[in-house]
Amino acid sequence: MQRSTQFNIEKLTEFDAVIDVRTPAEYAEDHIPGAVNLPVLTNEERVEIGTIYKQVSAFQARKRGAGMVAANIARHLQSPYLAERDRPWNPLVYCWRGGKRSGAMAHVLREVGWNATQLVGGYKTYRSAVIEQLGLLPANFAFRVVCGETGSGKSRLLRALGDAGAQVLDLEDIARHRGSVLGSLPNRSQPSQKAFDTALWHALSRMDQLRPVFVEAESKRIGDLRVPDALMQAMRSSPCIQLVLPFDRRLDLLLEEYQHFFGEAEALFAKLDSLTVLHGKAVIAAWKQLAAAGKWRELTAALLTQHYDPAYRRSTAGNFPALSEAIVAHCRDAGAAGIARTAAELLISIESAETPA
């Protein structure tokens, strides 16, 4: 008997497992959180079937594809993931549109004796639900937006607030990017837009809407990724926190966190070239000379005073109107102890401000 279900985010926890039978490439782009990938077609096999479908016939494509799917399902049944399963077991199975790929896997699993359910509409239905939720969820939270000049330790403060028990939405960590023109992280590529959206939804869906959520002030884009409009709107209308760190300590922090550029002159120069339209060739050439001479502290100071600080003042003034009434958090040292102390003092300050006299 065929078992299927319409997608419902709240009902995902009712299943013992979620099985994504799409190709590894489709799975890597995005998937339901916690889903295991048991592809019934490999990346190459799916391309081959698509080619046969277009160039020969649908019948020949189905015949060839059926053999591939059967062989792959048999292989999965012998794998530890399925071979070690006992009854009862209640997995949810999905593919791209809830069609033949997930139907075949769900059918075989049910024949074995497991209570497998096929997701109607597949990943496409899930993706639509995520987009819908990202348009609705942000309005339900009370955000506290951490603002501060580049190098003031905003990301470190978020982590310290999380360690202290506060709710934190770390957009830059989810996006794997620090948000600026030099913000790409060494050995960490950004996720796809779909995976970024999924991670945002998953993070928000697990948060307590009765407690504040601390988030860093961001622009609409973090590297190559776009922050959902509803989240940006909620952040920009929220109370702000102004984190202040002395200029020399900001230089220390930036030199520590961006030292991967020290040995990558070409990558750094390419990033600097992208700012030519804003600052002109002469300024960019001067910055490159500092880098070539290994004068990293001088270069960092020049980038802050000539580019980042003016850009920050323009951006926050226009996008975060509540900044003028922000709670100011003074941090004297951006090391672990100093940031932890600032986080603790900030939480006490907020609690005092919200407690009725």
Same domain, 208 and 322: yes
Range of the domain at 123: 4-131
Predicted pLDDT at 207: 97
Residue 88 preceded by cis peptide, ω within 30: yes
Predicted pLDDT at 16: 96
Round the average pLDDT of the chain to a whole number and report it: 93
- Tell me how far apart the alpha carbons of residues 109 and 116 are, in angstroms, rounded to a whole number: 6
Strands (E), the chain: 4-5, 17-20, 36-37, 91-94, 117-119, 143-147, 167-169, 213-216, 221-222, 225-226, 240-244, 327-330
pLDDT digits (tens, 9 = 90+) for 135-176: 999 999 999 999 999 999 999 999 999 999 999 999 999 999
pLDDT digits (tens, 9 = 90+) for 199-227: 999 999 999 999 999 999 999 999 999 99
Same domain, 121 and 56: yes
Domain annotation covers residue 136? no
Same domain, 201 and 345: yes
Same domain, 224 and 296: yes
The CATH number of whichever domain residue 311 belongs to comes to 3.40.50
Same domain, 10 and 151: no
Domain annotation covers residue 195? yes
Same domain, 62 and 118: yes
Predicted pLDDT at 78: 96
Same domain, 109 and 174: no
- For residue 214, the number of C-alpha atoms closer than 13 Å in the C-beta half-sphere is 24
Q: Specify the pTM.
A: 0.92
pLDDT digits (tens, 9 = 90+) for 285-322: 999 999 999 999 999 999 999 999 999 998 888 899 99
Domain annotation covers residue 247? yes
Predicted pLDDT at 53: 93
Domain annotation covers residue 253? yes
Select which of 95, 147, 240, 331 is catalytic.
95
**What total number of domains does the chain contain?**
2
Same domain, 49 and 195: no
Predicted pLDDT at 233: 97
Same domain, 125 and 159: no
Q: What is the DSSP annotation of 140-208?
A: GS-EEEEE--TTS-HHHHHHHHHHTT-EEE-HHHHHTB-SSTT-BBTTBPPPPHHHHHHHHHHHHHTS-
Three-state DSSP state, 115:
coil
Same domain, 233 and 309: yes
| pLDDT of 4 above 80 | no
pLDDT digits (tens, 9 = 90+) for 117-136: 999 999 999 999 999 999 99
Judge whether 95 counts as a catalytic residue. yes
